[in-house]
Amino acid sequence: MTDCELSIVLPARNEAPALEKLLPVLREHFPQAQIIVVNDGSTDHTSALCARYGVQEVRHRYRVGNGGAVKSGARAARGRVIVFMDADGQHDPADIARLLTRLADGYDMVVGARDGASQASVGRSLANRLYNRIASYMTGQEIPDLTSGFRAVRADKFREFLFLLPNGFSYPTSITMAFFRAGYGVAYEPIVAARRTGRSHIRPLHDGARFLLIIFRVATLYSPLQIFAPLSALCIAGGLLNYLHTYTSQGRFTNASAVLFTTAVVVFLMGLISEQITTLLYAVAGGRRDADDADG
């Protein structure tokens, strides 16, 4: 692949110290590539650095979010392949070549999978392991790193799902599940992520609660019934066990059993409706793809 076919997108908010080290290295390794820094409402000298190193700046007048910055970068990218990487110094530009090599093997997206030592904290490491296990269960594929922001993708396929991506930090989850749902090839390349430069923009209390929603995004973006149906079955089992207990000990059917049976029905219907919505979302994506192919 030639550099002119490659776009490198770096979402950045007040990451000037890291960018000062990263941009010259990227320019040295990929002199002809389109390097895009999406300035997500930064108040530091990010704009001056972009001008100094001759990289393209896509500027948000106010903070939109990491996912919003990724979407802006994807729209501005001209290359057939886009590499997304963090602007905080965690990702090694030397690893880009390995991602591109795997992409050339026929995959549609290659994700840089961090090892356990690369996680920022024990809590985040445990959370990511949980996300990985749930996503692996949903897709039937081994997913070693669901939330990595370092990935190489085929631009046309990535843009199919821009409307599905949130503006927050959970965009990697959404795009991974979308690619699996669409039947696109996804590969994982082991990497070692360095400690970030500067302070993280993730707020443990606020974003910790929001990250829990990743689990539900995993379900709703792939196959909701795989989550809702087991939950419904557990409620039915609980209701039956409670009924057997109360019938043998008191000879009656209690409100607790009624609540569990009702909950089982509601949960199953929620899963069924979610499944239909998910199907419609991907039908919209397929329609957009067909329309683009017809225009081409």
Structure confidence at residue 280 (pLDDT) = 84
For residues 162 and 100, membership in a common domain is answered with yes
Distance CA 212, CA 221 (A): 15
Structure confidence at residue 287 (pLDDT) = 66
For residues 79 and 164, membership in a common domain is answered with yes
For residues 155 and 90, membership in a common domain is answered with yes
Residue 135: exposure state from Cβ atoms within 10 A (0-12, 13-18, ≥19): buried
From the first residue on, what is the mean pLDDT of each consecutive set of 10 residues in the chain (296 residues)? 83 95 94 96 95 96 94 97 94 95 97 73 72 85 91 96 85 90 94 69 54 70 85 96 92 92 96 87 69 58
For residues 290 and 210, membership in a common domain is answered with no
Cβ neighbours, 10 Å, residue 274: 18
Domain that holds residue 287: 225-295
Q: How many CA atoms lie within 13 A of 155 on its CB side?
A: 17
Structure confidence at residue 119 (pLDDT) = 53
For residues 231 and 257, membership in a common domain is answered with yes
Domain count, the chain: 2
Structure confidence at residue 138 (pLDDT) = 84
Spatial contact of 208 and 131, defined as CB atoms under 8 Å apart: no
Structure confidence at residue 43 (pLDDT) = 94
Q: Does this model's pTM top 0.85?
A: no
Residue 195 lies in a domain: yes
In the chain, the N- to C-terminal Cα span, in Å, equals 23
Q: Quick one: tokens of 136?
A: 């692996």
Residue 219 lies in a domain: no
Structure confidence at residue 281 (pLDDT) = 77
Q: 16 CB contacts (<8 Å, ≥6 apart)? A: 42, 44, 45, 46, 49
Among 46, 174, 30, smallest CA distance to 95 is for: 30
Q: Quick one: tokens of 40?
A: 């997500």
